[in-house]
Amino acid sequence: MTERTGRRGHRAGEVAGEVMWPVLDVGSTPDAAPIGGSNVMAERTTHFRTCPLCEATCGLEVTMEGDAVVRIRGDRDDVFSHGFICPKGSTLRQLHEDPDRLRAPLVRRDGVHVEVTWDEAFAEVERRLLPVLDAHGREASAVYLGNPNVHNHALTIYGRALLMALGTPNIYSASTVDQMPRHASSGFLYGNGLAIPVPDLDRTDYLLMLGANPLESNGSLCTAPDFPGRLEAIQARGGRLVVVDPRRTKTAELADEHLVIRPGGDAAWLAALANVILTEGLVDLGDAAAHLDGVDALGPALAPFTPEAVEAATWIDPATTRRIARELAAAPTAAVYGRMGTNTVEFGTAASWLTDVVVALTGNLDRPGGLMWPHGVHAKPHTPGPGRGFRTGRTHTRVRGYPEVKGEFPVAALAEEITTPGEGQLRALITVAGNPARSCPDSTRMEAALADLDVLVCIDPYLNETTRHADVILPPPSPLARSHYDLAFYGLSVRNVANYSPAIVEPTGLREEDIIARLALVVSGQGAGADPQIVHAMVLDGVLGSAVGGDGPLAGRDPAELAAQLGDRSPADRVLEVMLRTGWAGDQFGAVDGGLNLELLEANPHGIDFGALTPQLPDVLRTVTGRVELAAEPLVADLARLAASLDRPTDGPVLIGRRHVRSNNSWMHNVEVLVKGKARCTLQVHPADADDWGLVDGGSASVTSAVGTVVAPVEVTDAVAPSVVSLPHGWGHGAQGTRMAVANAHAGVNSNVLTDGSIIDPLSGNAVLNGIPVTVVPA
Ligand code: SF4
C-alpha cells in the first residue's frame, strides 16, 4: 500500500511552525541543516511516531526545524499504515501550538480560573477535596475517565493507582457511552470483557457491517489503519461488502449493497439472520465446533425472530434477510462487524452477542477471514483452561440500582447520582480527559450536576464545557511531548504489531504519570508535597511482582535486578518496558534471544509487524466451562425484551448520530483546519420529511425529545431514510467561561441535550444515543 491522498487519505502540506519547545535528541534522524536567511544553524530532524488521535494507529513522519514543527505527513514505511493518514493526523502541530491549550494549572477563584503553579494546584486540591472526603466518605466521590485515556499508555497504566488511592466504588467512563455492549457480550460469551474478536479484514471474502462508518471514523474496536483501503481490497479480490445503516454513509456508498435499517433494529435483524441459518440447515461450526456450548439452545430461543416477524421493526424485507443469511453461510469466509449504531441502543448487548452468534454458526469464529482475537505483544501468553467467568451487578448505583459492569456504573446515571440527595450522594468528581458535559446523555441535567458538585478536579488540556465548572484543572503535556505506545489498541488490531514513539519535545509541565501520582498522594492523605516517586515505585513494584510470581519464565527472579535493567526512562515507560519484555513476544529480560524490548522498538521506528492474527481458541476463553457460552443465560433471557419490542409502534421520526472524519468527539473542534468551511453540525432531514414538516435546506429546525430541545440548521438530503433525522455529537460549544476560541466560533448544537439518561441497555448499562423519538418543526 502507498500513501493515500484525495477523498479519504491525506498528506499534510508543509507548514510554518512557531518556536515552542526544544527538540529532544531521541529517535531522530538529522537530514538537513540551515534555515535560509538566518545565521542560526537550525537542524532539520525527522521523527516517526504513531498518531494518538484515534484507534487507527497511523504512522506519522514529523519534520522539525530547530524547535519548530514544519511538516507532518504519513509515514510511508510504517509497517501497519504504509503512509495512510486522515486529515486529523497532521493537526498534532496545531494541537501542540494551540494558544488555548493549557500550559499551567488553573484554579477557580471568585468564579474565575487563574493560572497557578503546580505546587499551588495540588495544595488547592488538598484544601478543597480532602474535607469533602473526610465529611462524606470515599463513596461520595467518583471518577470519570474519557476516551483519550485509552490513547495514552501513561494514563492507562496509572489510572488504577488513582482509583485505588481514592478508594471510590464510583467509576464512570466513556465506555458506557458507546462500547460497553461489546465488552458485556464478550464477557458473557468468552468469560473476558476484553476478549473482543475483530473482523479479519485482510483475508475475509464477505464483510457485513452494521452501524459502522469507518470511512469517517477510521474504525472502532477494530484497529486497522487505512480501513477504507482494506475495504476496497476485499472488493478487489472478489469479495463482497454489505453495509446496514439508516443513513447512506460514505461507507455505504462504497459498499456492494446498502440495506436501510430502522434505527435500533440491528439486534432483531441479526436474530433473524441466525434464525434463518438455524432453520434452513445452514449451520457449519467449522473448527471452533469443539469449543462451542449452547448451539442447541439457540434454535428455540431465536424461533420468534423470523424474517417476517422482524420486518416492521427493521424495515428489511424477509427475502433480503434470507438472502443475506444464505450469502453469509455460503461465503468461503465471512465476518460481521457491528459498531456504534448497534451499541448505542437499548438492545446493544443483544446486537453484539448476535453478531458473534451469526459468525459462529457459519463457521467463521476464530478462523482467518472471520472474526479473530488479536493478541497484543505486551500481553502475557494465554493461560489454557477454565477461568472465573464474567459477572456483573456486584454493586449497584444508589438511585436506580443499575448494576456495575466491568467495575463501572453507567454514565447515564452520573448526573442523578450527583443531584439526588441522600446518603452516598456524589459530592466530589475527578475527570481524566473527559467532557461529560458534552459526551453524556441529557446534557442539560449533567451540566447542572457538574455545577452542583462540592468539588470538581479535572485533568484536561482545555477550559471546556466540563472543566469550566472545575475547581482545579491540571493540564497534560502536548501530544508531541509524550512517548506513545498503543497498549489498548494493539489488543484490537487486525494484525499483531508494535510501535513505540519517543517524545519529540520536552514537556513544559508535568507528565501524565506525575500528575496522577501527585493526585493519588493527595487523595490518599499523604499530602500535596509528597514525592511522586512513592507512587512510581508502587506501580513498578506491582508489575514486576506479577512478572516474577507464578510459574512463568521469570519465576524466582529478583525484581530489583530486573528494575536495574530498565534504564533511564520515564516512570510510565519503565512499566511499559516490563510489559513488553514479559509479554508473549518479549525477551524475558535476556532469557529469549531477539525477544521484544523497548530498545528493539526504538531501533525500528516504523514499528514491527508480528504477522496476521492466528486462532486463539480455546486458550483465549476465561469462562467457567472453558468453552464459548453461545447461549449464556443473561443473553438468552434478554430476548424476551427484544421480542416484546417488535410490536412497538414504528411511526414518528427518530434521531441518530453521525461521524465526520474531521471531528473527534468534542475535543478537536479548536483546530481551525478541521472546522473551517461548510458547517458540519447540521440536522439531516429526508426531502419528503422536510416537505411534510415545512423545513427548507439552510433553514432552522427545532428538535424536541422527551428531555430537551435544540435548534439546528437544516440540511435536506436523501442520505437519511424517511422518518430519520441525524445530528453529529460532540458539538454545542460557546458556553460562558470556556476558553476555546475556534470551537466557540463554530459552536454547533449539542445532540446530547436530546438523549435521555433514563433509558439504557440494561445488560451493559450503555447509554441510548440512537433511535431517540423526536418531533421536528420549523424554528
Ligand atoms: S486515521 Fe486516526 S490515527 Fe490515522 S491519522 Fe487519522 S486520527 Fe490519526
Query: 12 C-alpha vs ligand 1 centroid, how far in Å?
Result: 12
Higher-pLDDT residue of 5 and 332 is 332
> How does residue 657 score in pLDDT terms, banded at 50, 70 and 90?
very high
| C-alpha span between 597 and 573 (Å, rounded) | 11
Write down the pLDDT at residue 40: 54
Taking residues 494-503, report their average pLDDT: 97
Ligand 1 centroid to Cα of residue 239, in Å, is 26
Beta bridge mates, 145: 173, 432
pLDDT at 66: 76
Q: Which long-range contacts (CB under 8 A, 24 or more apart) does 644-652 make?
A: 645/268, 645/313, 645/346, 645/347, 646/268, 646/304, 646/309, 646/310, 646/312, 646/313, 648/313, 650/262, 650/312, 650/313, 651/723, 652/723, 652/773, 652/775
Cα(532) to centroid of ligand 1, in Å?
33
Three cell numbers written together for 675? 472546522
Ranges 28-37, 171-180, 466-475: which has the least confidence: 28-37
CA distance 218 to 226: 7
Model confidence at 9: pLDDT above 70: no
CA neighbor of 771 nearest in space, from 340, 144, 336, 146: 340
Cα of 226 to ligand 1 centre, how many Å? 9
Please give the pLDDT value at position 3.
31
CB neighbour list of residue 550: distance below 8 Å, 6 or more residues apart: none
CA of 85 to the centre of ligand 1 (A): 5
- Closest residue by CA, ligand 1 atom 2: 54
> How far is the centre of ligand 1, averaged over its atoms, from the C-alpha of 337 (Å)?
20
Q: Summarize the chain as % helix, strand, coil (round to 5).
A: 35, 20, 50
Question: Which burial class, exposed, middle or buried, applies to 331 when counting CB atoms under 10 A from its CB (0-12, 13-18, 19+)?
Answer: buried
The residue whose grid cell reads 500481553 is 379
Q: Is 89 in the pocket of ligand 1 (CB under 6 A)?
A: yes
158 backbone dihedrals φ, ψ, rounded to 5°: -90, -10
Residue 58 CB less than 6 A away from ligand 1? yes
Which of 3, 53, 78, 486 gets mutated to test ligand 1 (max ligand atoms within 8 A of its CB)? 53
Q: Return the pLDDT at 15.
A: 28
> Does residue 54 have its Cβ closer than 6 Å to ligand 1?
yes
pLDDT of residue 690: 98
Q: 86 in ligand 1 pocket by Cβ < 6 Å? A: yes
Q: From ligand 1's centre to the CA of 483, what distance in Å?
A: 17
Ligand 1 neighbourhood includes 668 CB (under 6 angstroms): no
Q: Where are the alpha helices (DSSP H) in 614-763?
A: 633-637, 639-645, 672-675, 687-693, 741-745
Average pLDDT of the residues in 719-727: 97
What are 151-180's pLDDT values in tens digits?
999 999 999 999 999 999 999 999 999 999
Q: Answer yes or no: is pLDDT of 8 > 50.
A: no
Distance 87 CA to ligand 1 centre (A): 8
The alpha carbon of 458 and the centre of ligand 1 are apart by a number of angstroms equal to 26
> According to the model, what pLDDT value does residue 13 have?
30
Whether residue 348 contacts residue 341, with contact meaning beta carbons closer than 8 Å, is answered with no
Structure-block grid coordinates of residue 91 = 493537526
651/196: higher pLDDT:
196
Judge if the beta carbon of residue 85 lies within 6 A of ligand 1.
yes
Q: Is the CB of 88 under 6 A from ligand 1?
A: yes
Q: Is 263 in the pocket of ligand 1 (CB under 6 A)?
A: no
* 3-class SS string, 326-394: HHHHHCCCCEEEECHHHHCCCCHHHHHHHHHHHHHHCCCECCCCCEECCCCCCCCCCCCCCCCCCCCCC
Q: Running DSSP on this structure, what letter comes out for residue 564?
A: T
Query: CB of 741 within 8 A of CB of 670?
Result: yes
Whether the Cβ atoms of residue 439 and residue 424 lie closer than 8 Å to each other: no
For range 358-363, the mean pLDDT: 98
Which atom, in ligand 1's list, is nearest to the CA of 56? 3
Cell of 193: 470483557
Mean pLDDT, rounded, for 443-459: 97
CA-based nearest residue to 759, from 702, 708, 706, 723: 706
Q: Is 761 helix (H, G, I), strand (E, B) or coil?
A: strand
* 552 — pLDDT class (breaks 50, 70, 90): confident
pLDDT tier at 688, thresholds 50, 70, 90: very high
More confident residue, 666 or 639: 639
Measure the CA–CA gap between 173 and 159, rounded to whole angstroms.
Answer: 12
**Does residue 510 contact residue 536 with C-beta atoms inside 8 Å?**
no
| Spatial distance between the Cα atoms of 161 and 139, rounded to a whole number of angstroms | 17
Q: What is the pLDDT of residues 553-602, one digit of tens each?
A: 899 899 999 999 998 999 999 999 999 999 999 999 999 999 999 999 99
Question: Is the pLDDT confidence value at 512 over 60?
Answer: yes
Instruction: Supply the pLDDT for residue 21.
Output: 24
Alpha-carbon span 334 to 235, nearest angstrom: 13
Identify the helix (H) or strand (E) that includes residue 160. Answer: helix 153-166
Ligand 1, atom 8: nearest CA belongs to which residue?
89
Higher pLDDT: 283 or 38? It is 283
Percentage of the chain beyond pLDDT 90 is 90
Judge whether residue 48 has pLDDT over 80.
yes
Pocket of ligand 1, candidates 11, 57, 85, 90: which has the most ligand atoms within 8 Å of its Cβ, to mutate? 85
Amino acid in position 759: I
**Residue 209 CA to ligand 1 centre (angstroms):** 21
How far is the centre of ligand 1, averaged over its atoms, from the C-alpha of 622 (Å)?
33
Rounded to the nearest integer, the mean pLDDT of the chain is: 93
Total residues found in the chain within this entry:
779
End-to-end CA separation in angstroms for the chain: 49
Q: How many helices (DSSP H) and strands (DSSP E) are in the chain?
A: 27, 32
Query: Does the CB atom of residue 316 touch ligand 1 within 6 A?
Result: no
Ligand 1 centre to CA of 468 (Å) is 28
Omega before 618 cis (within 30°)? Answer: yes
Per-residue pLDDT, averaged over 392-403, amounts to 97
For 198-228, what is each residue's pLDDT tens digit? 999 999 999 999 999 999 999 999 999 999 9
pLDDT at 665: 86
Give me 113's grid cell.
Answer: 480560573
Q: Are strands 455-459 and 472-474 parallel, antiparallel or unpaired?
A: parallel
Q: What mean pLDDT is predicted for residues 478-494?
A: 96
Alpha-carbon distance 461 to 482, whole Å?
A: 14
Residue to substitute in 4, 51, 75, 151 for testing ligand 1 pocket (most ligand atoms within 8 angstroms of CB): 51
Minimum CA distance residue for ligand 1 atom 6: 86
pLDDT at residue 666 in the model = 85
